[in-house]
Amino acid sequence: MKAVKIILISLAVLFVAIQFIPSGIPENKPDDEKSIVNSSLVTEPILEQLRKSCFDCHSNQVRFPWYSKLAPSSWFLADHISEGKSNLNFSEWEDYSNREKIGLLEEIKDEVESGNMPLKSYLLIHRDARLNSEEISALLTWAGEATAQILK
């Protein structure tokens, strides 16, 4: 019984202690003219979909969940967001060259069509980010049209 108590107290102390380790979650920044929000490539419904299903890992406009303040979940979140943003950051869309934009749009098509994105682990908690077949096809059409527009 005493051993259990010691273990529980140690765990509690450890839990409190790790809260002081910085999580490294990137901070949100206000969207500026570089954001896809201001691009002629997107319509409002597509933007809404991107906000709901993609922006949490691929923009500077993350809706932080309550557990983002608690370690160790904050560490995993920090990793997810940093990796997501390094691959694609919709808030910095205009920093990409046309070639990179086409590459990203083709990747979006592949990832969405194959069901790899949004990530399953993310969808477990963010049920509103799930894409139904109509939303998938709207995103695929948009990505195709946006690519054609860039190639014009």
Partner 1 sequence: MKIMKISTFIVILVIIAGLFFIQSSRVSRIIQNSGSIYSAEAKKVIDEKCYGCHSEKGKSKDAKDALLWDNLPNLQKSRIVATLDDIIGVLKKNTMPPEDVVKKYPEMKLLPQEKETLLSWAESRADSLMK
DSSP secondary structure code for residue 25 in this structure: P
Minimum distance from residue 143 beta carbon to partner 1 (Å) = 9
Q: Is the Cβ of residue 25 or residue 139 nearer to partner 1 in the bound state?
A: 139
Q: Is the Cβ of residue 32 or residue 106 nearer to partner 1 in the bound state?
A: 106
Which two three-digit tokens encode residue 126? Answer: 């963010």
Instruction: Region of 24 please: left (phi>0), alpha (psi -120 to 50) or beta.
Output: left
Interface map 98-137 toward partner 1 (x if CB under 8 A): xxx-xx-xxx------------------------------
Q: State yes or no: residue 148 binds partner 1 (CB under 8 A).
A: yes
Stretch that binds partner 1, among 34-42, 52-60, 74-82, 95-103 (CB under 8 A): 95-103
Phi/psi of residue 97, nearest 5 degrees? -75, 165
CA 102/CA 98 separation, integer angstroms = 6
